[in-house]
């Protein structure tokens, strides 16, 4: 796959591999002349894109799944670039784990205070994290930074954070060309985890065998 991607690049994959910390090509690159067959034009509405927009319109007109009260949206932050930054001590001190950003009114209606533990569940999986009040988040929405979390079942939330990918399906809602799954607007529910619930969960984790 990488060989195919680099098919028109100024260097091949072997050259990129020689630079494990990243490759920078210093020679200037210029766009080629337009293909005469296209008369210098491109299609602003290819047929497959038109079909996808039509499917999106139909989806927006479909009644919302009443099983779920919230939508998950992913967000970026300046402490991580995807998975990069998770090993830098200064960044880890500023933001060791990600939080569940909620509108304060939603938190009040669910009897959740800032710093409380909550369970976030989709039809694909469940994660647990700490709630954080954020007035910029719309009601009915939960906003989580991606780029956190370790291997499922082995991570430590307060050390690694948690990956919202655990809530996302890779079998449906895929882009037609590159098969990228939907990463946002995921229907979810939330549940307040009481101190008693958390203590019971921690006790079960201690009893769980560690050798796989």
The pLDDT of residue 206: 46
pTM of the model: 0.68
The pLDDT of residue 78: 79
- In sequence order, the 6+-apart residues with CB closer than 8 A to the CB of 102 are 112, 131, 132, 133, 134, 137, 142, 143, 190
The pLDDT of residue 107: 95
The pLDDT of residue 133: 96
The pLDDT of residue 200: 60
pLDDT tens readout for residues 11-53: 888 988 888 888 888 888 788 787 788 777 777 888 888 998 8
Residue 106's nearest CA partner among 164, 204, 22, 192 is: 192
The separation between CA 59 and the C-alpha centre of its own chain, rounded to angstroms, equals: 21
Residue 191 token pair: 């549940």
Quote the Cα angle for 137-138-141, to 5°: 85
Identify whether the C-beta of residue 142 lies closer than 8 Å to the C-beta of residue 70.
yes
The pLDDT of residue 132: 96
Q: Which residues of the chain have pLDDT under 50?
A: 205-212
| Domains, the chain | 66-207 (2.40.40.20)
The pLDDT of residue 208: 41
Q: Is 70 exposed, middle or buried (0-12, 13-18, 19+ CB in 10 A)?
A: buried
The pLDDT of residue 173: 83
Residue 98's nearest CA partner among 147, 138, 142 is: 147
Residue 8 token pair: 């028109």
């Amino acid at each position: 796959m990488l060989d195919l991607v680099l098919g028109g690049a100024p260097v091949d994959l072997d050259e990129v591999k020689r630079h494990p910390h990243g490759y920078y090509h210093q020679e200037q690159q210029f766009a080629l002349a337009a293909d005469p067959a296209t008369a210098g034009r491109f299609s602003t509405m290819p047929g497959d894109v038109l079909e996808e927009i039509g499917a999106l319109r139909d989806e927006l007109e479909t009644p919302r799944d009443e099983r779920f009260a919230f939508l998950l949206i992913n967000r970026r932050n300046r402490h991580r670039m995807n998975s990069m930054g998770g090993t830098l001590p200064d960044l880890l001190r500023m933001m060791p784990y990600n939080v569940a950003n909620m509108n304060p009114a939603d938190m009040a209606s669910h009897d959740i205070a800032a710093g409380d533990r909550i369970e976030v569940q989709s039809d694909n999986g469940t994660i647990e994290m700490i709630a954080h009040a954020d007035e910029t988040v719309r009601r009915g929405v939960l906003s989580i930074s991606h780029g956190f979390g370790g291997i499922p079942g082995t991570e430590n939330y307060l050390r690694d954070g948690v990956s919202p990918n655990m809530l996302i399906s890779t079998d449906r809602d895929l882009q037609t060309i590159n098969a990228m799954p939907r990463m946002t607007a995921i229907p979810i529910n939330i549940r307040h985890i009481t101190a008693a619930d958390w203590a019971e969960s921690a006790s079960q984790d201690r009893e769980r065998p560690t050798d796989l």
